[in-house]
Structure 1
Amino acid sequence: MSERVDLWNNGNLVQDIFLGEIKVPVKVLRNDSFQAWYLLQPRENGNKSSKTDDLGSLRLNICYTEDCVLPSEYYTSLRNLLLKSSDVQPISASAAYILSEVCRDKYDAVLPLVRLLLHHQKLVPFVAAVAELDLRDTQEANTIFRGNSLATRCVDEMMKIVGKHYLKVTLKPVIDEICESPKPCEIDPIKLREGDNVEINMENLRYYVDKVFREIVRSSISCPTLMCDVFYSLRHLAAKRFPNDPHVQYSAVSSFVFLRFFAVAVVSPHTFHLRPHHPDAQTSRTLTLISKAIQTLGSWGSLTKSKLSSFKETFMCEFFKTFQEEKFTESVKKFLDDVSSTESKEPSGVSEPVHLKEGEMYKRAQGRTRIGKKNFKKRWFCLTSREFTYHKQQDKEPIFTIPIKNILAVEKLDESSFNKKNMFQVLHGEKPLYIQANNCVEASEWIEALCRVTRCNQKRLSFYHPCAFLNGSWLCCKATAESTEGCARCTADVPADTQIEIDGDRETERIYSLFTVNRSKLQKLEEACGSIAVYQGPRKEPDDYSNFTIEDSVATFHTLQQIIDIVEKLNESHEKYQKKRSSSAKYGSEENPIVGKVS
């Protein structure tokens, strides 16, 4: 029995092109870890096969890995050790950092690590800690966060996970326009085709760049809270590292949000799910030129004459002479301020409050302690970038106003509180404001709008009560003090589209597997710590441990011992669990499959 794998090229917008196929015996996939090279074969045509000579020479690398995830309690020790990494001094002695040191490819460690820390809301302090370590080795401000370190890769992965919706609402409409109604934009004289007009092409390219740039600098209100929190940390760490450079606080953020986020999404929209397929060659070239332009515009101070002279391509230098306007650098500065500040700000270029949403809903009288239909009144609600108000009627003076900066959380309200559906609550320091929308879609839209405009508030709550306080107690947790801290973690920090499902146990299992595979490197690192003067063992030659970052041999050695001990115990647990499962499971079941050929 075998599985067939077909390889197709979907880069052709008319139809997909078959490239070749292979057949993999199912029995080889039963191994815990399987890796092998297979030569692609022509497609079978009945009993006849196409001639191999008619095909190219492509190879497909297939990696198959099976993880056995144990019950959650087995991972408690490893999970806790990883989650406290940001508190370890120095950070290079933490379990999370050691994981990145022993893995051959940092990406193998970064993916499960970021997801685990993100799931437990520990990512921001960890990124800040490893970024600070990064900055110690950065000698010049203009090279800040340009390498592929643990810090930059963690931020990259975080942006990919939580920034999907942000990219969709910001770039998808203009990317669709470029791909579906493309205009010629080639400005390289060498690549111009016969009949092309370089002046017209430059105008087309300028139109696209202006449009993409305008959408980006106006999008700060949609930037997810987590991204803003990370950018805020990076900005202040950079300013602390280079106190005499007033621009470094901006370049620290732009190096991520422009160079590693928007510019990458523009040039590869299909990888960010902005387009279903890879664009054709001409459109891909247009997107590449736009991406280059966005990178340059987003680089703080990049439009100076000295910067223009450093362009490798003369045609790009000529193109950017048309961008010598102060408004571009000011727009970038305002945008970077918005996405890396701890205070809510107006969208770029706006001095008056921006009207965001309004509509008619029902509100419950604040402070009432009993249930009653008369407590709910129909009111007209209005949300701007500065305040949230409600009125008796549209166009009337507001009855009650909540400044945006005072909103602590916006969450759904359990319908059991008042036996009403589509309710949500606005927590703002006084009595909670309970609101009933007309339907579930409207409720979600209001929650999303309120969450977006309050995402940078300094005093956002981490916990809330999902039910109301009635008749002397909270209906959810039965606590009798109205001031009792919430019993559920806040969930609406970002729009619903950006929330992701993460299996913390699976990510911890993946990290355990990485430690197991790299056990020999853990031992080498342990020996390296032991060879440093603190310990009595013979000192090793520098080459034996020069590839590892060891700032504090004692702290690193202590963490390594914990990791090795935990991994050994998990190995034993895996063996016992597998034996128990196979012995108790019915022969022929998924847990205890039949071994051998079926006649």
Structure 2
Amino acid sequence: DPTTLTLLEEVTTVESRQDVAMTLVKIYLGQGLVVPFLDYLNTREVHSTTDPNTLFRSNSLASKAMEQFMKAVGMLYLHEVLKPIINRIFEERKYVELDPCKIDLNRSRRISFKGSASEAEVRESSVGLLQTYLSSIMEAIVSSVSQCPPVMRVVFKQLHKRVEDQFPEPENEDVKYLAISGFFFLRLFAPAILTPKLFQLRDHHADTRTSRTLLLLAKALQSVGNLGLQLGHGKEQWMTPLHPIILCSVASVKDFLDKLIDIDHDAVCEAPQRAVFLPSVIVKEGFLQKHKSEGPQLLKRFAFKKRYFWLSSESLSYAKSPEWQVRSTILITHVCAVERVDENAFQLQNVMQVITQDTDGQLHTTYLQCKNVNELNQWLSAIRKVSIYNEHMLPSFHPGAHRGSKWTCCLQPDRTASGCSRTHSAVTLGDWSDPLDPDAETQIIYKELLQGRDKLRKQYLETQELEAAKQEEPLKTNQPSSVSAQGRSERARAIAARLLDVVLDLERAHSTFQSREPDESHPLILSS
């Protein structure tokens, strides 16, 4: 039956569906309703699939929503499971290759102490290394049931039941496992192994050698996720030496999935969430140049000291080095602005400021210099993300510095004068790790409906008379299917009409808001 979600899926393009899926997941997470939301999409997807081999293979809203859901609620779990082995692979940087066409004997001299290794020795060494890495990965995964977020386990449990009910035949016994492993292994763990930086497991992309190791491991893990059903049927027969360990992993994967969904749905409290970060998780870390403004003084270049910073959802702490035991801490709850600094303030590029307010209401500014503009943007966004829901955020700030008895930006002499520029709070809003921001997320859905309203109007309203004419003749023969089809068509038209009314109301509200003249009570009204 048609619903608002089905119509939204129809008007979105394939290119925008991932953003829409992520936005919807965050909206329902924020409302504490993500479990029934995903169950609705998954049930609809399962019921519309006749061939179990094609289940969730398309870029449907259900597939994309599940993928974004796992990233939003499961990324910290992914880090706990994979980060140790990923770090080990990066540090060891072993030469690994199985494809005879790609083996470079000159790059593998360290494998044999006798000189250049033979092709057989390279393959034997590579198989051993890959088996070791894959065993470590599988052991970490299958022993991680208790670490997996309960809400993810409940979603998988419901998915398992929907698939089992739809495909109960003995020959489809594995389909209920494949539905879960397809998301768990093929859309989360394997991509994270392939490109760790995109999942924030590493700060930089892998070099060529390490990247090849990760690719071969990702291929092997994909085969595990497919329960070994496609082994031997592909073109890459050189992967055959890994088939035994892959097949041995299948039984443990099924056992793991059985344990994963062994959870009481009612015991899981799906409370509304406001952010995806856990307090103990380090969101970002690295060296920065730091200076803390402490009253009137002449700020010089050498006033910036190199310090190592750690950012979590609770604090921004720093020390002389990563190993230094004594740390200074800035509480995130005290942050009231995070902004760029003009270059002429210190004659330095890529400087930002973190303005905090202490318990006495006094403002303090910490200046941080980043090594390049990309790092500056990353730190700005990261600190804004963890402080986005703080109370007492400042409406304005000084993009300059107070030097020579005046602000370099507005030339006001008073050090405590109100800021001369409007502050910013925007974060990426498109990344899995962005905080939940219902206002911004519903704006994205409004934009999609605005762009798709002509399609909605043409498909459901302008063709109303034509559809009625088509339904008239079958109705005379009293065919139940025609009556049912007409009912669905009428419901779809009613939903489309309601959506178009909502879009029109919102458009009028936007126009009214934009046409308002700024007054004393609204000095910072946005123009767009």
TM-score, structure 1 as length reference: 0.52
Equivalent in the alignment of 1:277 = 204
1:155 maps onto 2:66 in alignment: yes
Question: Per-residue deviation at 1:246?
Answer: 2.1
Counterpart Cα distance in 2 of 1:114 and 1:515: 17
Deviations 1:339-366 (A, max 9, x none): 222349xxxxxxxxxxxxxxxxxxxxxx
Counterpart Cα distance in 2 of 1:331 and 1:208: 17
Unaligned runs of 5+ in 2: 106-115, 272-313, 315-431, 474-484
Equivalent in the alignment of 2:152 = 227
Deviations 1:268-288 (A, max 9, x none): 110111000111111111101
Equivalent in the alignment of 2:183 = 256
Residue type matched to 2:511 in 1?
E
Query: Does the CA contact (< 8 Å) of 1:99 and 1:109 recur in 2?
Result: no
1:584 maps onto 2:493 in alignment: no
CA 1:111–1:177: 2 relative to 1, 3 Å: same
Counterpart Cα distance in 1 of 2:186 and 2:131: 19
Counterpart Cα distance in 1 of 2:158 and 2:62: 12
Equivalent in the alignment of 2:456 = 522
Deviations 1:480-507 (A, max 9, x none): xxxxxxxxxxxxxxxxxx9973121221
Query: Does the CA contact (< 8 Å) of 2:220 and 2:246 recur in 1?
Result: no
Counterpart Cα distance in 1 of 2:200 and 2:245: 32
1:298 maps onto 2:225 in alignment: yes
CA 1:575–1:126: 2 relative to 1, 3 Å: same
Per mean C-alpha deviation after superposition, the further-off stretch among 499-508 and 333-342 is 499-508
Residue type matched to 1:522 in 2?
L
2:32 match: secondary structure: coil
Query: Does the CA contact (< 8 Å) of 2:224 and 2:247 recur in 1?
Result: no
Query: Does the CA contact (< 8 Å) of 1:156 and 1:261 recur in 2?
Result: yes
Equivalent in the alignment of 1:185 = 96
Unaligned runs of 5+ in 1: 1-89, 345-404, 412-443, 445-497, 540-548, 594-599
2:158 match: secondary structure: helix
2:182 match: secondary structure: helix
Counterpart Cα distance in 2 of 1:252 and 1:265: 19
CA 1:183–1:586: 2 relative to 1, 3 Å: same
Equivalent in the alignment of 2:263 = 342
Greater than 6 Å deviation, 4+ residue runs? 407-411, 535-539
Equivalent in the alignment of 2:408 = none
Counterpart Cα distance in 2 of 1:323 and 1:566: 52
Query: Does the CA contact (< 8 Å) of 2:518 and 2:525 recur in 1?
Result: no
Counterpart Cα distance in 1 of 2:526 and 2:128: 67
Equivalent in the alignment of 1:209 = 134
Question: Per-residue deviation at 1:536?
Answer: 8.5
Counterpart Cα distance in 2 of 1:266 and 1:564: 44
Counterpart Cα distance in 1 of 2:235 and 2:526: 62
Counterpart Cα distance in 1 of 2:526 and 2:157: 52
2:64 match: secondary structure: helix
CA 1:504–1:343: 2 relative to 1, 3 Å: same
Equivalent in the alignment of 2:162 = 237
2:206 match: secondary structure: coil
Give 1:66-465 correspondences, 5 Å limit.
90=1, 93-104=2-13, 105=15, 106-194=17-105, 195-196=116-117, 197-244=122-169, 245-300=172-227, 302=228, 307-325=230-248, 328-343=249-264
Counterpart Cα distance in 2 of 1:107 and 1:409: 27
Question: Per-residue deviation at 1:222?
Answer: 0.8
CA 1:537–1:163: 2 relative to 1, 3 Å: same
TM-score, structure 2 as length reference: 0.59
**Count of paired positions:** 339
CA 1:311–1:318: 2 relative to 1, 3 Å: farther
Query: Does the CA contact (< 8 Å) of 1:270 and 1:278 recur in 2?
Result: yes
Counterpart Cα distance in 1 of 2:154 and 2:433: 16
Question: Per-residue deviation at 1:409?
Answer: 6.9
Per mean C-alpha deviation after superposition, the further-off stretch among 213-222 and 191-200 is 191-200
